[in-house]
Amino acid sequence: MSQAEILTIGTELMLGEIVDTNTQTIARELRAIGLDLFRTGAVGDNVERIAQAVKEASDRAEVVITAGGLGPTVDDYTREAIALAFGLGLEFEPQLWEQIQERFARFGLQPSENNRRQAMLPSGAVAIENPVGTAPAFRLERGDRVVIALPGVPAELKYLLRAAVVPYLRDSRGLTGVIKTRLIRTAGVGESWLDERIGDLERLTNPTVGLAAHPGRVDIRITAKAASEAAADELLLDVEITLRERLTDRIYGVDAETLEAAALQAVAQAGWKLAVVEAGTGGALTAALAGLAVDSFIGGEVLGEASAETGRQALEELQASSGAQVGMLLLLRQTEEQHEVDLTLRWPSGSQDRQRTYGGAPLNAPDWATSLALDTLRRHLPVERS
């Protein structure tokens, strides 16, 4: 069974100057062909460190994919580093140099002398033509191992993955399977609460089940590996059914479905409109709902500081002026040790008040309070028709 590792290259990554999207792109392509990805990493523009990272990755994994460091400048070290990792020299490829010159000519440009560096490959490497850029990629096979070097420009990397790398890996490794994932999204409960109820599922080997916590929400990731998409879907569905039986209404969505959409769907199903008033959250709740741009949300009012009494008065006035049948008040206050949340939900035939405390990271308090408000709206708004 083949295993893969990804190594992204560039000092700009180590300094946090850019966001690495290439790892995600490569990982998703590998998942689609059933190639197990066991490790990812990043290294700066240093030839010795890149060489060491490539050698260590190749010792562990049959497939190593690097991204970046194939440009023409003196700090583009990937070619030299991969050669160094395996004790090889660099060879000038005249045919590759002709391709580089032709691509420059199509843009009415003349390559400079340093572009010749891009026609140098480790001895024995096979060039991967890059018709969408000027940096040729390559692969170096060493026994049952292969290192594939791709440019760091995201558009070029994505094209070469789909046009050349994935077909090569599928054919050379005899890959016929698929790895699929599904996210089951929950709110209003924590990781420990979930772990008590689904711990046995987290010990499965195929599918695997894991948790990823966010403020006020937890995603349950199911990952299945199978010979076909249909077989993987069946494995995913079996676990999803079990989760739904155990967690019931704590689940608000799957994959790309959001808590914001689930909350407003509850309002729309009742034929109502929603208005909110909030304080202490920086407008997090209003911003989350406004981002959906749906008719069931009329709008929100963000106050500086407010007591429960002044907040309720502001909510009554907003509902009266906007005609919203449903009103929600969210007040977040910080004490010496924790945050306190006052939540009021009003609808035509009743209301509900909730008080909660939050003792986590202060920066996460607005998001946690927003999740609490949305989950309350989703689960506690009565199903009525106006």
The tokens describing 27, both together, are 């990982």
Query: 256-301 pLDDT, tens per residue?
Result: 999 999 999 999 999 999 999 999 999 999 999 999 989 999 999 9
Q: What is the mean pLDDT of the chain?
A: 93
Nearest to 1 by CA among 177, 162, 154, 119: 177
Helix (H, G, I), strand (E, B) or coil at 147: strand
Residues with pLDDT less than 50, the chain: 385-386
The tokens describing 161, both together, are 């993955």
Cα 267 to Cα 274: distance, rounded to the nearest angstrom: 7
- Give the residues across from 210 on adjacent strands: 221
Q: Where are the alpha helices (DSSP H) in the chain?
A: 11-14, 22-32, 47-60, 78-85, 94-106, 154-160, 166-173, 191-202, 229-247, 259-269, 284-290, 308-322, 365-380
Number of H helices, E strands in the chain: 13, 17
Contact in structure between 166 and 207 (CB atoms under 8 Å)? no
Give just the sign of the alpha carbon dihedral 317, 321, 327, 330. Answer: negative
Q: Structural domains in the chain?
A: 3-173 (3.40.980.10), 178-254 (3.30.70.2860), 259-380 (3.90.950.20)
Q: What is the 3-state secondary structure (H, E, C) of 268-317?
A: HHCCCCEEEEEECCCCHHHHHHHCCCCCCEEEEEEECCCCHHHHHHHHHH
Structural Rg of the chain based on CA atoms:
27
Cα 99 to Cα 247: distance, rounded to the nearest angstrom: 58
Angle (CA) 157 163 165, round 5°: 70
Q: Which residue has the tokens 């909730």?
A: 354
DSSP 8-state class, residue 124: T
Cα 92 to Cα 283: distance, rounded to the nearest angstrom: 59
Cα 276 to Cα 296: distance, rounded to the nearest angstrom: 12
- Give the residues across from 355 on adjacent strands: 342
Cα 252 to Cα 365: distance, rounded to the nearest angstrom: 21
Q: Cβ atoms within 10 A of the Cβ of 350, count?
A: 9
Cα 293 to Cα 4: distance, rounded to the nearest angstrom: 42
Phi first, then psi: give them for residue 199, nearest 5 degrees.
Answer: -60, -35
Give just the sign of the alpha carbon dihedral 114, 119, 125, 127. Answer: positive
Share of the chain above pLDDT 90, in %: 82
Q: Which residue has the tokens 């992204």?
A: 8
Question: Residue 95: what pLDDT?
Answer: 85
- Is cis: bond before 207, omega within 30 of 0? yes
Phi first, then psi: give them for residue 277, nearest 5 degrees.
Answer: -125, 135
DSSP 8-state class, residue 91: E
Which amino acid would we find at residue 141?
Answer: E
Q: Residue length, the chain?
A: 386
